[in-house]
Amino acid sequence: MSSLLDTPTLSAPPPPPIPALERPLSPAELAAALRAFHSSYYVEHPFHRLMHEMRLFWADHSVHHSATEFDFTTAQRFHIFEWVPKVIVMFPLAMIGFHPLVLFLFTSLAGIQLICHTARFGRWGWWDKHFVSPTIHGVHHSRNPIYMDRNLGGGLNFWDHVFQTYQAATDEKMVFGITHAVNSTNVIKVLFWEYTFLWRDFIHAPTLKDKVIVLFGRPGETFEAPAKGHAAPPAITSAISAIVRAA
């Protein structure tokens, strides 16, 4: 009996640590998160620039830019091959050591972009200079020569200032869309519109070097086959029509 009374009382186990998501971030964690967010722009800006400056990627990205109205639905216009250039860009970055959080933040910028696809709001003063806003992104979606291929940032305008791709809105009215206007609501035609021009120019390019430049050169600066208006090659037009009829 005495041995039972003399048994030491077990101390209560220590409380479990508070999960990281249920407590405030420490200064070190906050600094790391801000660095990761900023680092994501090392990925986002050059990726977006490639989408505008390489014809093979532009044929895909042009679907997003082909809308002649600038509203929230424009943010949802993506090609079925949208994931291909992202994998091409992100896989090597992951291999050379970019943290997965950086790549995740890069893909999450689309959420910020959603609220910037609208022409309903005016200019936001000092905000427009440093951060993406509806007006700043409206400039990006315009096909006016002064606005084309500008404001490539997804949330911050920092790298646009560094690489001199920043353009503030001027008194010139924004004209939305692409230079090869689709002028159609046919989904198949919209999806493959720029690919038809890419294929036409690739087939008719006179040399192998010209063909390579057609694929990887800057839109508007590569070989272009003579064509009547904006007509696509007959074979491609027939193939698109067959797909539409089958659907």
pLDDT in tens, 50-89: 889 999 999 999 999 999 988 888 888 887 777 777 777 6
**Tokens representing residue 131 in the block:** 């951060």
Nearest to 43 by CA among 101, 1, 3: 101
**Quick check: 37 and 27 in contact, CB under 8 A?**
no
Would you place residue 199 in the very low, low, confident or very high pLDDT band (cuts 50, 70, 90)?
very high
Q: What are phi and psi of 131, to 5 degrees?
A: -130, 155
pLDDT at 219: 93
**Quick check: 82 and 221 in contact, CB under 8 A?**
no
Give the mean pLDDT of 206-214.
95
pLDDT at 79: 79
Give the C-alpha separation, 186 to 120, whole Å: 27
Nearest to 225 by CA among 247, 197, 192, 246: 197
**Tokens representing residue 1 in the block:** 């009996």
Give the C-alpha separation, 144 to 176, whole Å: 8
pLDDT at 105: 66
The 10 Å CB-count burial string (b at 16+, else e) for 11-37 is eeeeeeeeeeeeeeeeeeeeeeeeebb
**Quick check: 74 and 117 in contact, CB under 8 A?**
yes
**Tokens representing residue 210 in the block:** 């010209």
Torsion, Cα 110 111 112 114, to 10 degrees, reads: 80
pLDDT at 75: 80
Give the mean pLDDT of 125-151.
91
pLDDT surpassing 90 at residue 39: no
The residues pairing with 142 across neighbouring beta strands, listed in sequence order, are: 176
Residue with tokens 């230079």: 179
pLDDT surpassing 60 at residue 233: no
pLDDT at 244: 45
**10 Å Cβ neighbour count for 202?**
19
pLDDT surpassing 50 at residue 118: yes
Would you place residue 5 in the very low, low, confident or very high pLDDT band (cuts 50, 70, 90)?
low
Of all residues in the chain, what percent carry a pLDDT higher than 90? 33
